[in-house]
Amino acid sequence: MISEQLERASEQPSTAAADLKERIANRTARVGVLGLGYVGLPLAVEFAHAGFEVIGIDVQQSKVDQFNRGQSYIKDVKDDVFRPLVESGKLRATTDYSVIRELDTIDICVPTPLRKTKDPDMSYVVAARDAIAEHLHPGLLVMLESTTYPGTTDELVLPMLESRGLKVGQDFFLCFSPERVDPGNANFHTRNIPKVVGGITPLCTEMGALFYQQALERVVPVSSTRVAEMVKLLENTFRMINIGLVNEMALMCDRMNINVWEVIDAAATKPFGFMPFYPGPGLGGHCIPIDPFYLSWKSKESGIEARFIELAGYINGRMPEFVVEKIQDALNDATKPVRGSHIHVLGVAYKRDIDDVRESPALDIILLLQRRGARVTYSDPYVPRIHSAGEILDAQETFANVANADCVVIVTDHSGVDYAKVIERSKLIVDTRNALKQYNSKKIVRL
């Protein structure tokens, strides 16, 4: 492997590289994005904004049809921004993988979930790889953005692409560049989040960096695909472990009758050596609950036990049960059992002001309450419908249910909710997000 890398590093730029550099630099390169979800759609929009012709590829015909009508299905991409790009011909989408033959670049932005056994499900990446391999041609720049374990790009993707007779770093170019999308973040988005990129060869890295520099504000080249893959895992593992620590502090403080939120706020006044993290009902989203387990799984292959990751995962995974115990205790103090009580959940998205319920702790909390015999309703301005315990639950009007509920549980602290009115109309509130920090009422039970 080392000798192959040295051989590739010594290769001179080919005609294919020179031609591709020119097309990228003058923005005539045809850009492809495979996977048009939370990562792919915003990325496609940024490159279309930069003047490139962008073709999106997705397996869902309904998504492609909506895309081609100029209707954004991602909250962070507004229709008034998206539609003109479609109407001008800068953006279009298809389910036909054969368009790869016409492309100069293609970004793979497909899901990388975990199986129930906590090992990586690489089926989406493999399907994307195989489709690209079938239509691979000289001069194509391939970027994998899907979060994955170190070694995926050179061990799983590269061999299939080179099996067609083309050579990486000479005939085609392969990089890894981790997505860093933060849905609902008004300050940081695809364009202004620094873009890490590492290639199989130095020339691959150069090509990838040049490409991203055309549309994004800052590009950070690194020495290899493995470094780039590890960057994303470090970022999210750091966050997951620190959230696990503060969740454990919340469990301790609860037993000691100490307000954990006050403790954190006071500790955060220290101007050095402390970074505040906050407890909550559990981890959600497409990254933090999942990515660290890619690292844990890979480290086990290397004979290393990732103890911090496993422990933090256990603590964070316990939080929905802890919330249900808080609800049960609060109802008991009000001389009511969980069974038969009406419990209304405020917010089911995994975080504030978004419509994404992937891995949301609210789903676990609702299911646990249903299993204890509670009648559960929910309201969420961004999520009209969820599935729980084999049934469909539709979002309900907030304040009528708040008034009728035996207990209200704030699981997601959406900013548009009138919390003063919630307190006024509720009998009992369990606040898992400190949304009611400024209020002092005997009705409120804090995490």
Catalytic residues: 287
DSSP secondary structure letter of residue 163: T
Distance CA 230, CA 234 (A): 6
Distance CA 124, CA 35 (A): 10
* Sign of the C-alpha dihedral computed for residues 238, 240, 243 and 244 taken in this order: negative
Chain length of the chain: 447
Q: In the numeric block, which tokens belong to residue 240?
A: 């997951």
Contacts 24+ apart (CB under 8 A), 57-64: 57/32, 57/33, 57/93, 57/94, 57/95, 57/96, 57/97, 57/99, 57/100, 58/34, 58/93, 58/95, 59/95, 60/95, 61/95, 63/36, 63/93, 64/36, 64/93, 64/94, 64/95
Main-chain dihedrals φ then ψ at residue 339, nearest 5 degrees? -60, 125
CA distances from 14 to 5, 78, 187, 239 (A): 17, 41, 40, 42
Q: In the numeric block, which tokens belong to residue 95?
A: 């389910």
